[in-house]
Amino acid sequence: MSENLTAAVSRELLERAAKLDAADELAPLRARFTLPEGVYLDGNSLGALPAHVPARVADVVGRQWGELLIRSWSESAWWTAPERIGDRIAPLVGAAPGQIVVGDSTSVNVFKAVVGAVRLHDDPARTDVLVDAATFPTDGYLAASAARLTGRRLIPVRAAELPAALGPSTAAVLINHVDFRTGRLHDMAALTAAAHEAGAVAVWDLCHSAGALPVALDDCGVDFAVGCTYKYLNGGPGAPAFLHVAQRHQGFFDSPLPGWTSHGDPFAMTEEYTAAEGVTRGRVGTPDILSMLALEAALEVWDGVRPDSVRAKSLALTDLFLDCVAEYVPGGLDGPDSRVRSMTPYAHGERGSQIALRCAEAPAVMAGLIARGVVGDLRRPDVLRFGFTPLYTRFADAERAAAVLAEVLGEVPAA
């Protein structure tokens, strides 16, 4: 490509980004966050800080804890926070109130959900737990432990092969809504229906979809779901995760971790355990109030935001980024001479809110990007991940990231 043509293409893409930013209905939301200089494209690992959260946390520490002390369990509504915040998350994942409880980590909730799903059957013929073979490692570790505990065997299966693998021996399936490496979006409605047709219980991991795109737990008939809150929900590092238990299963949910706060009468301090009614039986121990209330404050940035608008911007951002990479990077994208190849599907219906590029020099390239103020994420050995958070990512950020990627690739020797 000649220099004149390259400059013209660059101007065209810059103008396209500027027009998209000018027309972006979500653009005002960026002011609700504290953001560093440069381009931040790692919200799929840790979301940005909502600007009002520090003052809210200071109140929790200084007044609710410092002045009210033990009274805050009732006067500041600490005790009901897990269910209250669960109801705040519910519309973001397409669930009716009363089906989500917040607390513990994603890992702990995966364990509760998979064991609970297997125990719903109480059928020795249901010998198998299927797990997405490309799942985040912790999900696999916990699913294996849950299978051992319940006397089942764990069978890793690629999501595309899941319908064919289901059968009368399947007790439960654990599936990622969005693949953490590739950004591939799996069909929740179709895979849940396939699991139910086989008589199995469907458990979904929403860590890379909650807050990034519309999720329809109720419409899809999902049985259990888990998700973290520190990525696209911006709850802060180590923010508590959430557990979704469908209304129809709550009376039969037998948690493997029956802690005192999930007791029907927790302050009776009885020797025998009686599970609470509803989703409260998904609780375990004393809520982590500081993190919990930081999350509650952070969720206020979603007031008035429609998930469909978030999805539309996410797809437009990732489209622009892919187009810019294809034009700017020497050799283009996915061509015979290209040094980067997209692992993320181009089809909108199969794409989450991240772009994963395979690059042989990924460690050096990501280091070069970060040194120039473009923060993405490395997945060893050769994956560059870029997370697009529609609440605060600009189209100009997508164009800039692609341009800097091209610069860095021009300086890093090919492997």
Give 10-20 pLDDT, tens digit per residue: 899 999 999 99
Whether residue 385 lies in the annotated active site = yes
DSSP annotation of 61 reads: I
d(CA 269, CA 9) in angstroms, rounded, equals 70
Are 284 and 261 a contacting pair, CB within 8 Å?
Answer: yes
Whether the pLDDT of residue 2 is over 70: the answer is no
Exactly one of 136, 224, 232, 392 is catalytic; which is it?
A: 136
- How confident is the model at residue 330, as a pLDDT? 87
Are 85 and 299 a contacting pair, CB within 8 Å?
Answer: yes
d(CA 37, CA 252) in angstroms, rounded, equals 50
Mean pLDDT estimate for the chain: 96
Q: CA 147, 150, 151, 154: dihedral to nearest 10 degrees? A: -10
Percent of the chain with pLDDT over 70: 99
- How confident is the model at residue 180, as a pLDDT? 96
Are 227 and 90 a contacting pair, CB within 8 Å?
Answer: no
d(CA 263, CA 350) in angstroms, rounded, equals 41
Are 392 and 35 a contacting pair, CB within 8 Å?
Answer: yes
Whether residue 205 lies in the annotated active site = yes
Whether residue 230 lies in the annotated active site = yes
**Cis peptide leading into residue 28 (ω within 30°):** no
Query: What pTM was computed for the model?
Result: 0.96
Element (H, E) at 84: helix 81-89
- Give pLDDT tens digits for 342-358: 999 999 999 999 999 99
Adjacent-strand bridge partners of 139: none
Domain annotation for the chain: domains and CATH numbers: 3-34+306-411 (3.90.1150.10), 54-302 (3.40.640.10)
Where do we find the tokens 């089906």? Answer: 99
* Residue 263 φ then ψ, to 5°: -75, 145
Exactly one of 119, 126, 184, 385 is catalytic; which is it?
A: 385
State both tokens at 2: 């000649």
d(CA 388, CA 391) in angstroms, rounded, equals 9
- How confident is the model at residue 247, as a pLDDT? 98
Whether residue 136 lies in the annotated active site = yes
Are 130 and 139 a contacting pair, CB within 8 Å?
Answer: no
Exactly one of 42, 104, 179, 205 is catalytic; which is it?
A: 205
Whether residue 111 lies in the annotated active site = no
